[in-house]
Amino acid sequence: MAVNRMFRTCPTTGLKFHQPAEALMKWNAVAAVVSLLVGGILALGVTLTRWQAVHLLAPDWFYLFLTAHGLNMLVFWIIFFEIAVLYFAGSTLLGCRLATPKMAWAGFWLMVAGALLNNYAVIFRQDSSVMFTSYAPMGAHPTFYLGLILFAVGALIGCFVFLGTLAVGKAEKTYNGSIPLVTFGALTACIIAIFTIASGAIILIPTFLWSLGLIEHIDSLMYRTVFWAFGHSSQQINVSAHVAIWYAIAAIAFGAKPMSERVSRAAFLLYIFFLQLASAHHLLVDPGLTSNWKIFNTSYAMYLAVLASMVHGLTVPGAIEVAQREKGFNKGLFEWLRKAPWGNPVFSGMFISLMGFGFLGGISGVMMGTEQLNLIIHNTLYVPGHFHATVVVGTTLAFMSLTYFLIPVLFRRQMMFPLLAKWQPYLFGLGMSGFALFMMGAGTLGMPRRHWDVSFAGNLFPHEFPGTAWLMIALMGISGLVAIVGGIIYLLITVGSVFLGKKIETPDFKYVKAREGMAPAPQPVAATLTAHHGNIGMAGFVAPGTFVLAIVFLTSFVLYYFVNWKYLSTVWPLS
């Protein structure tokens, strides 16, 4: 069978793109952005209904919008983009051909069919408003589950194509020694994805059969337990993928090298062992499961995954600081940060993503994962507040900033609206940070999630929320609109640039056939940093600014954690 060995070399970055891998990355990225567009339109409806002063949609439409928004954002946008990242980290960064492109295409079309079928069930049939969690015995139309299953099978094929590509790279010796750190991060995401998809199959296939009437009963606790191995782990794929992107962007924007590859790889290994276990925090108030299971999976195991995130949160800005100080920005604690390219959306988006993920998503995640503290906020707006900080500020913004790098490098188009692009990460990142923060504030004051009318108007047992809670809701609505404007600008720039942007012409451009059995020989790249950091830093630290940021983070973390224990004692007075 003929193997396509055609490669092109990016004249700007020197990256080598295998022809079929390049096409697959483009198509997956486009499918991701289309899902983001659909999810974004739905986000507007959800935000304007959550904002009690507007309360736009009727109940039926609200739940329909919420279901389709959740699935398009949490599953389709994210996973299409992640498959593109896997092919980039596998084929392009290793400089090797993609394994089995035909299988990769089959996987892609299965994902497209699955996404369409699921959206058909929710939006067009309008009988599957069961939300992202689709808790049995609340039933959806069979096409809802079938769509998810097809999408998952397609994504699984993509994961195995990535693993196959690693094997091809090793066999054809396109890299020496260990795979690059970014590829290792992508491998971590791929491993978590395979566990996630397998868990999805374990629960969604019987639920699909149940929706067809072939199985009589789905136990609700069993469903919830196995579902969260799929539902929450799918968000852990994001964490690994966006951390890999942080490292990639640090290298792209600054030529930064990780402060310690060993430590960073060990942190990814902690993700592989423990990150998925945090799924148990969704079940902390469920009867039937023992405290042993809950506390082991959330507190003990999850803290090791949190440790890994803190390592990445320290080493990525630390690597940037070292690179900046090497370039001469060595004055004081924060000259390296002040003189960073804040007008470059690739960097600004990544840095806001890192800060938002750590300070908002990370700290709130640990609080939620503590069995006792979880009682304060379980099933309140705090929960979507937390995951908008992790998945949207953390993952989506990291993906957006990578897109600005990929438009010229992968799509070979000039970026349109560069001034808007400069502002987009701030609008989206800060808007979404406010949205998450105010949502968490309202949740802390008891505002429920999922409910169409959080005021419980006309209820037999009415409940009066404090005025601050309503203020939080209004601020959440305003911040949400700012973020949506940021999202619209992103879509305008990406869709405009990819389809209407000026082509980047490269004289004598052509795909070059690699010799049989081997990818193009890697070109030597000039070292960006010396092994010894020379005379940089302060007081014996090569990255003192990052150290100070880490201390600020830890202080916030400890204070917030203990404030919540204090708050818990007032919620349940015992005397």
Partner 1 sequence: MAEPTQNVNFEEVLEEPIPAMQQLLDNPFLLLFIGIATPAVLYIIWGVMEIVNIPVAK
What residues line the site for partner 1 (CB under 8 A)? Answer: 163, 166, 177-179, 184, 187-188, 191-192, 194-195, 198-199, 202, 219, 221-222, 225-226, 229, 233, 265-266, 269, 272-274, 276-277, 279-280, 283, 288-290, 293, 296-297, 301
Return the closest-CA partner of residue 90 out of 6, 194, 189: 189
Secondary element (H or E) of residue 47:
helix 19-50
d(CA 118, CA 36): 15
Say what the alpha-carbon torsion angle 231, 234, 239, 245 is, to the nearest 10 degrees.
-150
Q: Phi and psi dihedrals of 116, rounded to 5?
A: -65, -45
Q: Which is nearer to partner 1, 73 or 181 (CB)?
A: 181
For residue 507, the minimal CB distance to partner 1 (Å) is 39
CB of 169 to partner 1, least distance (A): 11
Taking the C-alpha atoms of residue 408 and residue 424, their distance in angstroms, rounded to an integer, is 18
Q: What is the dihedral of CA 46, 52, 54, 58, to 10 degrees?
A: 60
Nearer to partner 1, 289 or 471 (CB): 289
Nearer residue to partner 1 within complex by CB, 273 or 565: 273
Smallest distance from the beta carbon of 233 to partner 1, in angstroms? 7
Question: Judged by CB, which is closer to partner 1: 175, or 329?
Answer: 175
Name the CA dihedral angle for 198, 204, 208, 213, rounded to a multiple of 10 degrees: 110
For residue 259, the minimal CB distance to partner 1 (Å) is 17
Question: Min. distance of Cβ 279 from partner 1 in angstroms?
Answer: 6
Strand order in the sheet with 16-18: 16-18, 6-9, 512-513
CA 536 to the chain's CA centroid: 34
Query: In this complex, which beta carbon is closest to partner 1, that of residue 3 or of residue 269?
Result: 269
Residue number with CB closer to partner 1 (169 or 486): 169
For 413, phi and psi rounded to 5 degrees?
-125, 150
The answer to whether residues 175 and 92 touch, using CB atoms and an 8 Å cutoff, is no
Q: How far is 403 from 411, CA to CA, in rounded Å?
A: 10
Q: How far is the CB of 526 from partner 1 (least distance, A)?
A: 26
- Our CB check for partner 1 shows the closer of 69 and 232 to be 232
Of 107 and 441, nearer to partner 1 (C-beta) is 107
- Determine contact, residues 103/161, Cβ cutoff 8 Å: yes
At closest approach, how far in Å is the CB of 240 from partner 1? 10
Least Å from the CB of residue 20 to partner 1: 21
Which residue, 275 or 410, has its beta carbon nearer to partner 1? 275
- For residue 509, what are the β-bridge partners? none
Distance CA 137, CA 217 (A): 8
> Whole-number minimum distance, CB 277 to partner 1, in Å?
5
